Each structure stands twice: as structure tokens, then as C-alpha cells.
Amino acid sequence: MIARKNWLNKGLLAATVFAVALAPSAGAAPKTVAIKPMAQIAQDVAAEGMAVTSKYVVTYANIVGKSSDIKVRAIDFAGTEIWSKTIDSGWDEAATVIAVDAQGTIWLAGNSAAAPVVETMTVTAGALNPDSVLLETATALRPDMNNIALWQLSSNGDLLSQSNSTALQPAIVDAVSANSTGISVLLSRESGQSLASVKAGVFGKEANLGTSKSKFKTLQRGLDGSTYLFGSSSETLGGKKLVGKVDGILMKVAKTGSIASVVRSSAANATRDWQSATASIFLTGVVKTGKTTETAVTKFTSAFIPTWTARFASTGLSLAAPGANGSVFAIFEPTSLPNGVSGFKVNKGQSVVLGFDNKGVISGAFSSPQLTSPIATGYSPDSGLIVLTVTGAILRAAAG
């Protein structure tokens, strides 16, 4: 939709270039937190993505039959299916991302194509066929899914609307974020990425986000109609030049489509990349310097000023999730025991969840043998943290 001992530090912001510098935190050492187990509430091997509402977990999967369709399922926090719906308009359609807004409305985005046109002309004169060869009926080729598509579903799974853009050039949908001001859609092509805003089912003009040397992983739509984007870049963006090998990027695009601000997360000879974000601008990402790979976790203000940060030795991939009362979660695969955590044996392939309070202190830790290759996460006050893995395991950590 993170070194070990110096785990809590203050971020430094100098001029227009941001670089996190780590130093031992002042005061007493943090209390050690024991790992708690996560419970598996469901198994959905077909699930390709997930979002969490206040009442249930919703997953989607692309299925292929006479046409390509999308299956959407809602599962309560005990693992019982509430409803299952199939989006089948008669067109070929496939979803690549999912989001839920504050009202519980479900948004899927991806691609669609018009249904193939079937030849209906009747032949009035038979062709010569002296050997009585049976001819197979030719199957019409499916057209490419060149349309950018957006589906809106109610909390009960009813399809409320479907928007298909024929004006935008073909692209892959990388991320979607929705609120009362509209929907932000992140699009990707070989030439680079762009941002499109959708209001009342109408796709607006795209805003270019650089070339293929920049790659945004996630976005969050602001309440003023602006969009916050996070990723990596090895080119000049918004007048800010490259500092490391690859810099992490935080960018704000105004509702007009113009770039409002850019901050680079940089370190000399380092590769940085922000991979996941919450609406409160808590980010998780990777920092690679020489042979050292770490997961960075940082809480920013809306002005991209860091308030706290930490790093953990890891394999590099990570996810961020919101919690209660300003708390947040980071999910990553550690390569050594995180400082401040006990009762956990590092196993190759197994990830860990760390919870942080609003000051950046570790407040909880969770794991499970099934927590391998997590691909999506979400939070509900009634359920706690929910994580979907690549194997389809849906895991739950206790609320709080």
C-alpha cells in the first residue's frame, strides 16, 4: 500500500534537501516490548489486494471467463464472508488497486475494454465444400484494455458507478486515494508517471510527474483537493537536484495540477525509496548504503517536516498502516532483532509488525509464521491491524 541500536532519532531538514541523521535518543532506554502472536482470520488465495473498513475486510481478485471480471469479497473480523460480488459489465475489466474512503465507500481502479463486436451478417450463398469439412467458428479477439477505469461500490457491495476514460492514453494504475473532494489516480507508462483527478465520474487533465527516472509508489489525497505522493527519483524534480544515488521523494501536487512542494530524502552514495504511507504522512521505505540495507520509518508533518524517525536492519520491503490515537504500524522483514523487542527469533521470510505511539516510541510488536511477503494492510478500531500476505493469509493483530 525500517542502525538497530540507535533506533529513535531526530530528522534534520536543511534548505530544500532532506537527510535523516541518526543519533542515540536522549533519556532513559525504551522499555522492551514482547512480540505477540497474530491470528489468521481467513485464507483467500485469489486475493490480489485488500482494504479495511470499520466493519470488515474487503478483497478483490481478477477472474477470467467469457470476459475478464473482478470478484470483490467482504469478510468480517472473525473470518466469515459477509458478501461476494462480481463486477461484470460485459466488458473486459481488471483492477490493480483498491481504497476505502471515510464513508466506507469502496473504490477500485484499473483498466477496461469494450466488449468484442460479434459479426452478425448472414451468408446468403454457401461456399463450395466438396469434402464436407466442418469449419470451426472463429472467436473474436478481445480488444486491449486501453481504458482507465474506476469502480465505486457501496459498503454492501452494490456497484454504484463505473467510469471509463477513453481520452487518457493507455496506462497502468499504480495507486488510488479518495475523499470528499474527489479521487486521485496515479498512472504509469514507460515514459514516466502522471496524476489524474476524478470528479463526478469525469477524469481531469493529467499532471506529469517527471520521467521514468522517478517512481512514485503511493499517494494520499488531501482534504483541499491536493495530492501527496511518495517514492524515489534520480532526476531533478521541482527544482530539487539529486543528492544520493537515488533519493526518496515527497511531493505535493496542488488541485490545479502544479507541483506545490518537493522534499528529497537523501544520503551520500545511498539509494532511498519511500514505499508506503498513511494519511497522517507516516512513511516507511528503504535505505541502501553499500552492503547495508535498512527500513526507515518517519513521521512527517503536512509540510514534510520530520517529527521522529527510526531505522531497522531489514531486507528492504515495508508497509505502513495507521493505528489509534495517532499511533502507527510498520511491517517489514528484519535481518536482526530490532532493538527494544523481545521474544522474536529472526527467520528468513518472516516479517514483523512494530507499533509506534505518537512520539515514535515502540508500543507493540507482532508476528506470525504466516506473516510472509505482506502485500496490503489496514486498520479498524474494532479489529486492530489487518495484513494480507501474498499467499492469501489474512492476519489480525489485537486492537490498541
Per-residue model confidence as pLDDT tens digits over 195-253: 999 999 999 999 999 999 999 999 999 999 999 999 999 999 999 999 999 999 999 99
Which structural domains are found in the chain, ordered by start?
Answer: 12-115+145-397 (2.130.10.10)
Check if the beta carbon of residue 18 is closer than 8 Å to that of residue 306.
yes
The β-bridge partners of 306 are 300
Give the total residue count for the chain: 400
In this prediction, residue 289 carries a pLDDT of 96
Torsions phi, psi of 181, nearest 5? -90, -10
Q: Residue 175: is its pLDDT beyond 70?
A: yes
Check if the beta carbon of residue 99 is closer than 8 Å to that of residue 177.
yes
pLDDT grade, residue 263 (50/70/90)? Answer: very high
What is 110-124 written as a DSSP string? EEEEPPPPPP-PPPS
What is 139-188 written as a DSSP string? PPPPPP--EEEEEEE-TT--EEEEEEESSSPP-EEEEEEEETTEEEEEEE
| Neighbouring residues of 396: CB distance < 8 A, sequence distance ≥ 6 | 38, 39, 40, 41, 77, 383, 384, 385, 386, 387
Quick one: which of 55, 56, 59, 30 has its CA closest to 44? 59
Residue 338 vs residue 17, higher pLDDT? 338
Check if the beta carbon of residue 169 is closer than 8 Å to that of residue 187.
no
pLDDT grade, residue 362 (50/70/90)? Answer: very high
In this prediction, residue 296 carries a pLDDT of 98
* Residue 114: other Cβ atoms inside 10 A: 16
- Is 143 buried (19+), middle (13-18) or exposed (0-12) by CB count in 10 A? middle
Determine the Cα angle at 352 with ends 350 and 356, to 5°: 170
User: Which residue is it, cell 527500513?
Assistant: 295
In this prediction, residue 394 carries a pLDDT of 98
Question: 298 is written with which cell numbers?
Answer: 518517519
Check if the beta carbon of residue 351 is closer than 8 Å to that of residue 331.
yes
When mean pLDDT is compared across 2-11, 63-72, 250-259, the lowest value belongs to 2-11
What is 48-88 written as a DSSP string? -EEEE-SS-EEEEEEEESSSEEEEEEEE-TTS-EEEEEEE-
Per-residue model confidence as pLDDT tens digits over 79-129: 999 999 999 988 899 999 999 999 999 999 999 987 555 555 555 555 566
Check if the beta carbon of residue 184 is closer than 8 Å to that of residue 193.
no
Q: What's the mean per-residue pLDDT of the chain?
A: 88
Per-residue model confidence as pLDDT tens digits over 264-316: 999 899 999 999 999 999 999 999 999 999 999 999 999 999 999 999 999 99
In this prediction, residue 166 carries a pLDDT of 84
Per-residue model confidence as pLDDT tens digits over 368-399: 999 999 999 999 999 999 999 999 999 999 75
- Supply the pTM of this predicted model: 0.86
Residue 272 vs residue 130, higher pLDDT? 272
Check if the beta carbon of residue 285 is closer than 8 Å to that of residue 264.
no
Check if the beta carbon of residue 7 is closer than 8 Å to that of residue 330.
no
Check if the beta carbon of residue 100 is closer than 8 Å to that of residue 67.
no
Quick one: which of 238, 324, 214, 329 has its CA closest to 277? 329
In this prediction, residue 67 carries a pLDDT of 86
In this prediction, residue 89 carries a pLDDT of 85
In this prediction, residue 144 carries a pLDDT of 85
Question: 114 is written with which cell numbers?
Answer: 469494450
